[in-house]
Amino acid sequence: MPMSVFPTDDLETRPTTLPDTLEGVRGIDLHLHSTASDGKLSPAELADLCHARGLTHVALTDHDTIEGVVEAQARCRHHGINLMTAAELSCQWRGIGIHIVALLPQGASRNFESGLEILARARELRSREIAHRLEKVGLADGLAKARREAGSERPLGRPDFAAALVTAGVVADTKTAFKRYLGAGKRGDVKMHWPELATVVGWIRETGGVAVVAHPLRYGMTRRKRDLLFSAFIDAGGEAAELVSGYQNPDTTHDLARQLDFHGLYGSIGSDFHYPGGPLSPGTISPPPRSHVKPVWCHPALRRFACGE
């Protein structure tokens, strides 16, 4: 059974320093989205919800951007929440689209921001290619339609094309849009514009950050393939992976813990929250099991974040 979040009435007694095990942890969510990417809440609204859910330590991880961080930071400060600058970076490894969470306790350097510009351009080119490919399945003028669905000038993502397909009546719902046209390996899953895994991990390292493989169980990989991914990631300077992302099967999580332990990776946790009304809320994750995996906030670079300094 997935565990819901803890009640909010224990805010007074919350620890000022974080525990050194993942088991039983609460109040932390290091994977959250806002309207700066494909989330539905503004950064300030997200901060309010995190507060209402009793979170004390969070990271805003919008896709390929830190645009929302300033607004979220102001609101988190107001609530006494520790927010870390972060982003979820798109890249590719062996032709597979991979997401790497960049935890940036020192903020973003100029070099890192140049990396984000490269990703923004890649996203732009990719959008054109996706629109082009979706013409063949009956979506005319897809770029403009996806832009309309996004409702702002933010970079477009596959969810915007999914919404455009639904509005145009090509498919009945978003789920079908991904299943048929946008999900992994489908025609709208365009990865060629993304930088290589080692490149984005390099940007994160150079800015004093910690690189985290996002939702390692969501790439449809065998365990063996995941081993290869983790090895390549570590060779590039990566140091952590999400042990729990939203809801996970306990047996699978247990096995993933063994795999992270084997590779000496720190473990992170996050809901991957995008919008209210769905199954997930900020702070909602399946409970991390007892394991030898060290929490990512025990990484020396995250000490200040963990201590709330």
Binding stretches for ligand AMP (CB under 6 A): 38, 63, 90, 157-159, 174-175, 178, 183, 274
Residue 179: CA atoms inside 13 Å, Cβ hemisphere, count? 8
CA–CA gap between residue 214 and residue 32 (Å, rounded):
12
Of residues 33 through 62, those in contact with Mn ion by CB under 5 A are: 38
Of residues 250 through 289, those in contact with Mn ion by CB under 5 A are: 272
CB 168 to ligand AMP: min, Å? 17
Stated as kind and residue range, the H or E segment containing 146 is helix 142-150
CB-count exposure of residue 153 (10 Å: 0-12, 13-18, 19+): exposed
Q: Are 34 and 62 in contact (CB under 8 A)?
A: yes
Q: Which DSSP category does 182 fall into?
A: I
Residue 128 touches which member of ligand AMP, Mn ion, none, C-beta under 5-8 Å by kind: none
CB 196 to ligand AMP: min, Å? 16
Residue 105 touches which member of Mn ion, ligand AMP, none, C-beta under 5-8 Å by kind: none
Give which of 71, 87, 75, 70 is closest to 33, Cα–Cα: 87
Residue 178 touches which member of ligand AMP, Mn ion, none, C-beta under 5-8 Å by kind: ligand AMP
Which span (72-80, 167-175, 213-221, 249-257) binds Mn ion, by CB under 5 A?
213-221
CB 297 to ligand AMP: min, Å? 23
Q: Does 64 bind Mn ion (CB under 5 A)?
A: no
Give which of 190, 189, 173 is closest to 181, Cα–Cα: 189
* 99, 126, 158, 299: residue in contact with Mn ion (rule CB under 5 A): 99
Contact set with Mn ion (CB under 5 A): 38, 88, 99, 214, 272
